[in-house]
């Protein structure tokens, strides 16, 4: 990567980092580009060199929350193994994604109304792919006898929702470490899928 490209990427990362903090604390509508520039001790042209509009920043924050989440289920499935091991791996890694990007995840859930329509369609498409992947895994587990769920789509949304809401209650330095929380939520995900104690222990061993 050329030095110019590295510098541009560095600028984008700094802008995104500060924008996530300000959107989280003040909301998207309560944060101006001037406020972001001031917080960075920069001028507004510094922002415009990387982003044309404030909504462009918001869309990138959304993608950075969404794409690693999709990657968590796709990688879990690509690595293979029993359905229970795949579900464990997904829920564990997805929890880590949510916790590591807690503020960005909060912005993701709070600011959907501010996303431009053209970007919202793509975001909803990616969300559907993720939902489909998890539901597909659950259906596979039902067919193999590993899982026992009534409606796989509903169960998928329940599991994704359970993990997603960790952004609300996770506190850094709390009683449990991020890995311990990820393990707990992964175990809950398997119980929601109807996995018994023995299969649960085997799935945990594949983490």
Domain residues for the domain of 3 are 1-52
Q: What is the pLDDT of residue 195?
A: 85
Rounded Cα distance, 67 and 33, in Å: 25
Which residues in the chain belong to E strands, given as ranges? none
Residue 168: pLDDT above 80?
A: yes
- Mark 157-178 as b/e (b = at least 16 C-beta within 10 Å): ebbbebbbebbeebeeeeeeeb
Residues 151 and 77 in one domain: yes
| Cα–Cα dist 95/99, whole Å | 6
Q: Which of 10, 27, 52 is the last residue of a domain?
A: 52
Give pLDDT, residue 136: 97
- How many domains does the chain contain in total? 2
* Average pLDDT estimate for 174-193: 95
Q: Are residues 82 and 104 in the same domain?
A: yes
Helix (H), strand (E) at residue 65: helix 54-78
| CATH number of the domain to which 1 belongs | 1.10.10.60
How far apart CA 206 and CA 92 sit, in angstroms, is: 11
Please indicate, yes or no, whether residues 80 and 170 belong to a single structural domain of this protein.
yes
**For 31-88, how does the pLDDT look when each residue is reduced to its tens digit (9 = 90+)?**
999 999 999 988 888 888 888 899 999 999 999 999 999 999 999 999 989 999 999 9
Q: Residue 199 carries which DSSP code? A: H
- Same domain for 47 and 93, yes or no, is no
For residues 18 and 92, state if they share a domain.
Answer: no
> 40-44, 102-106, 153-157, 165-169: which has the minimum mean pLDDT?
40-44
Percentage of the residues of the chain whose pLDDT score is greater than 70? 93
What pTM was estimated for this model as a whole? Answer: 0.89
User: How many whole angstroms from its chain centre is CA 99?
Assistant: 9
Give dist(CA 200, CA 180) in Å, integer: 16
Which CATH number fits the domain that encloses residue 144? 1.10.357.10
One domain, residues 84 and 41? no
140 and 43 in one domain?
A: no
Specify the 3-state DSSP secondary structure of 78.
helix
Selected residue with higher pLDDT from 199 and 129: 129
- Same-domain status, 42 and 78: no
Could you read off the pLDDT of 34-45 as tens digits, one per residue? Answer: 999 999 988 888
Residues 99 and 170 in one domain: yes
Contact 92, 183 (CB under 8 A): yes
Using the predicted structure, report yes or no on whether residue 206 has a pLDDT greater than 60: no
Report the C-alpha gap between 89 and 76 in whole angstroms: 6
**Range of lowest pLDDT (18-22, 49-53, 130-134):** 49-53
């Amino acid at each position: 990567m050329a030095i110019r490209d590295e510098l541009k990427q560095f600028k984008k990362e700094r802008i995104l980092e500060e924008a996530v903090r300000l959107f989280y604390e003040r909301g998207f509508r309560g944060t101006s580009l001037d406020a972001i520039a001031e917080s960075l001790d920069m001028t507004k042209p510094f922002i415009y060199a990387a982003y044309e509009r404030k909504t462009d920043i918001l869309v990138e924050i959304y993608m950075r929350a969404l794409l690693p989440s999709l990657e968590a289920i796709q990688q879990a499935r690509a690595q293979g193994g029993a359905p229970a091991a795949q579900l464990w791996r997904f829920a564990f890694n997805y929890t880590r994604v949510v916790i590591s990007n807690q503020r960005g995840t909060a912005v993701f859930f709070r600011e959907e109304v501010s996303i431009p329509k053209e970007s919202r369609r793509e975001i909803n498409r990616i969300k559907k792919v993720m939902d489909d992947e998890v539901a597909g895994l659950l259906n596979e587990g039902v067919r193999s006898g590993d899982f026992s769920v009534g409606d796989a789509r509903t169960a998928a949304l329940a599991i994704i929702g359970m993990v997603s809401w960790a952004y609300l209650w996770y506190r850094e330095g709390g009683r449990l470490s991020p890995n311990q929380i990820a393990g707990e939520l992964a175990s809950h995900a398997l119980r929601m899928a109807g996995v018994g104690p023995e299969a649960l222990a085997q799935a945990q061993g594949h983490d």
